[in-house]
Amino acid sequence: MKTGTPPGSMAARWIIPNGSQEGDDPPGKFSYTDTPRLERQLPCHITYTSQAVHDVLKEGFEKSPMFQGRIQGLGPRYCPSIEDKINRFADKERHQLFVEPEGWDTCEIYVNGFSSSLPEDVQFKALRKIEGFENVKMFRPGYAIEYDYFPPNQLKLSLETHLVKTCSSLGK
């Protein structure tokens, strides 16, 4: 399988002119345990790519492991990279990005919708073309990875697969 990430956390004194996206009220939970409900939330923001962003990203397509065929796995769900969106939806002038603060005590943000396997310099140059990110600082570039997956019912509690006999299971 494969997956990708956006440029990992950026810092900026950014102003996102396209509005904010407030959290659920009341906030939902990821757990069915008795964990307390969130008391407060940080708003997310919305911005968009542009033709200028697309032009910069296209400069790196020939260096992308996804486009060169070095990564061939299927994703666990359809969540396309920014280069895939630009390639598949060439008729679109822009793509929506969610700007998600990573916490109360950090300047780091997660740019949902900008997963990329392009070279670091191309990612950075393109980010600086996004409205509101003109002065962004990139901490880590985005990347794509390919990995193996085993359905949980094929694994023992030790995480060994049921399909391979080990010395311990043969009584040796």
pLDDT digits (tens, 9 = 90+) for 109-147: 899 999 998 999 999 999 999 988 888 889 999 988 887
As a whole number of angstroms, the distance between CA 21 and CA 18 comes to 10
Q: How far is CA 165 from CA 33, 153, 162, 170, 171, in A?
A: 37, 16, 7, 7, 10
Q: What is the pLDDT of residue 39?
A: 82
Whichever domain contains 109, its CATH number is 2.40.30.260
Q: pTM of the full predicted structure? A: 0.77
Total domains in the chain come to 1
Range(s) of the domain holding residue 137: 2-170
